[in-house]
């Protein structure tokens, strides 16, 4: 996967396949699903016959996933789901949602959670896309509402009330996908940044460090928490680089590159934006897949062994 994305980045080919469906949801199904679920859902996802989105975050449960309140009640051979998800990337185009729900409201916070695969054409499910803070046209975020949505019991992924293990696995896949994306963005920034700048060397070292650490982790990292180092480092490296570039370009950094380029010249990047937009877009990177603060806590507790 890393080599594939790196080659696309070198050639400036920007892919539009279903990254969550392939990198997170299919991977989670292969880890936690039954053989029938793998055949029915994972294989079509990997073949790009269907798309999927991840239903984790809620208005009151973002980085604190264990605080989720979307409820699923088992009623015979199906669950009845009520609640809301938000920041659900790609939900408006998805065929199914891997949805984290509370099935035992009396259990401790990290227990009583289950995972359901829910078809987006289910009666009572509504999706509402909304724009990002940059105001661009590539709307990806969604609110998703569940009103008495019936979900077959056979769509339960993993064990009932033991969805926290699935959550950790899914988040691990998500964070791996994210840091690979950060390496791709740093590669892109490296080509566009002025090589005379003092911070250019730091950008180059950040990219190489991220790749080397990532290769080691993908080859069999001993501690799953190590991916938090990659996610934290990658997201903040992108933010540092875009801030330095914005400062370097001054007021021209507020303009789209096509407007500041010489006559009859267009940016070689069809998706080029101003440095200000790139910097603004770096902030979600320090939030998605767990905030920087969450990852610092994970690193402190699970890698360094520090007390809570």
- Whole-number average pLDDT of the chain: 83
Q: Measured in whole angstroms, how far is the alpha carbon of residue 103 from the centre of its chain?
A: 25
Percent of the chain with pLDDT over 70: 81
* Two structure tokens written together for 170: 């899914």
Residue 195 has a pLDDT of 76
Of 263 and 51, which is predicted with more confidence? 51
Of 211 and 126, which is predicted with more confidence? 126
Q: What is the DSSP string of 92-147?
A: GG-SEEEEEEES-TTS-TTSSEEEEEEETTSTTEEEEEE--TT--S---EEEEEEE
- Whether residue 126 contacts residue 145, with contact meaning beta carbons closer than 8 Å, is answered with yes
Of 7, 49, 174, 301, the catalytic one is 174
Percent of the chain with pLDDT over 90: 38
Of 43 and 219, which is predicted with more confidence? 43
User: For 264, what's the count of Cα atoms within 13 Å in the CB-facing half-sphere?
Assistant: 0
Residue 62 has a pLDDT of 73
- Whether residue 100 contacts residue 24, with contact meaning beta carbons closer than 8 Å, is answered with no
Does pLDDT of 22 surpass 80? Answer: no
What pLDDT digit, counting tens, does each position of 99-143 carry? 999 999 999 988 999 999 999 999 999 999 987 665 554 557 899
H or E element, residue 55? strand 52-55
Does pLDDT of 264 surpass 70? Answer: no
Q: Of 250, 241, 247, 233, whose CA–CA distance to 282 is shortest?
A: 241
What pLDDT digit, counting tens, does each position of 62-106 carry? 777 888 999 999 999 999 999 999 989 889 999 999 999 999 999
Residue 263 has a pLDDT of 40
Please give the torsion angle defined by the CA atoms of residues 229, 57, 129 and 120, in that order, rounded to the nearest 10 degrees. Answer: 110
Phi, psi (5° rounding) for residue 280?
-60, -40
Residue 117 has a pLDDT of 97
Please give the torsion angle defined by the CA atoms of residues 7, 280, 228 and 209, in that order, rounded to the nearest 10 degrees. Answer: 50
- Whether residue 302 contacts residue 221, with contact meaning beta carbons closer than 8 Å, is answered with no
Say how many Å lie between the first and final Cα of the chain, rounded.
35
Categorize the per-residue pLDDT at 162 as very low, low, confident or very high, splitting at 50, 70 and 90.
very high
Crossing angle for the helix pair 275-285 and 163-192, to the nearest 10 degrees = 160
- Whether residue 256 contacts residue 273, with contact meaning beta carbons closer than 8 Å, is answered with yes
Does pLDDT of 155 surpass 90? Answer: yes
Residue 266 has a pLDDT of 34
Of 303 and 255, which is predicted with more confidence? 303
Residue 3 has a pLDDT of 62
Q: For the chain, give percent helix, strand, coil, nearest 5.
A: 50, 20, 35
Does pLDDT of 9 surpass 70? Answer: no
* Two structure tokens written together for 188: 């892109």
Categorize the per-residue pLDDT at 20 as very low, low, confident or very high, splitting at 50, 70 and 90.
confident
Crossing angle for the helix pair 226-249 and 275-285, to the nearest 10 degrees = 160
Residue 221 has a pLDDT of 57
Does pLDDT of 19 surpass 70? Answer: no
Of 7-21, 152-166, 185-199, 287-301, the least confident: 7-21
Does pLDDT of 12 surpass 70? Answer: no
Whether 143 is catalytic is no
In angstroms, what CA-CA distances link 120 with 55, 95, 100, 262, 286?
A: 11, 5, 15, 47, 28
Of 294 and 220, which is predicted with more confidence? 294
Tokens 């064990």, residue? 159
Please give the torsion angle defined by the CA atoms of residues 209, 213, 271 and 193, in that order, rounded to the nearest 10 degrees. Answer: 0
């Amino acid at each position: 996967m890393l080599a594939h994305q790196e080659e696309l980045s070198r050639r400036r080919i920007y892919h539009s396949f279903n990254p969550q469906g392939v990198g997170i949801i299919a991977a989670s199904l292969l880890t936690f699903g039954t053989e029938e679920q793998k055949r029915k859902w994972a294989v079509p996802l990997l073949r790009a016959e269907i798309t999927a989105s991840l239903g984790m975050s809620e208005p009151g449960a973002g980085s604190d996933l264990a605080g989720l309140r979307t409820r699923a009640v088992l009623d015979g051979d199906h669950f009845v789901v009520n609640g809301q998800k938000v920041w659900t990337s790609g939900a408006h185009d998805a065929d199914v949602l891997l949805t984290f729900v509370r099935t035992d409201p009396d259990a401790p916070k990290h227990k009583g959670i289950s995972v359901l695969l829910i078809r987006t054409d289910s009666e009572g499910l509504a999706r509402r896309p909304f724009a990002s803070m940059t105001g661009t046209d590539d709307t990806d975020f969604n609110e998703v509402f569940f009103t008495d949505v019936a979900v077959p019991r056979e769509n339960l992924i993993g064990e009932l009330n033991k969805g926290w293990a699935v959550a950790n696995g899914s988040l691990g896949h998500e964070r791996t996908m994210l840091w690979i994306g950060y390496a791709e963005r740093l590669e892109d920034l490296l080509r566009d940044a002025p090589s005379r700048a003092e911070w250019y060397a730091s950008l180059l070292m950040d990219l190489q460090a991220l790749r080397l650490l990532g290769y080691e982790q993908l080859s069999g990292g001993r501690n799953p928490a190590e991916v938090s180092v990659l996610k934290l480092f990658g997201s903040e490296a992108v933010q540092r680089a875009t801030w330095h570039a914005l400062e370097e370009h001054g007021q021209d950094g507020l303009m789209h590159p096509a407007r500041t380029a010489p006559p009859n010249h267009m940016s070689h990047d069809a998706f080029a934006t101003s440095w200000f937009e790139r910097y603004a877009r770096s902030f979600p990177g320090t939030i998605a897949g767990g905030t920087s603060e969450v990852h610092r806590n994970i690193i402190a507790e699970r890698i360094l062994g520090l007390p809570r």
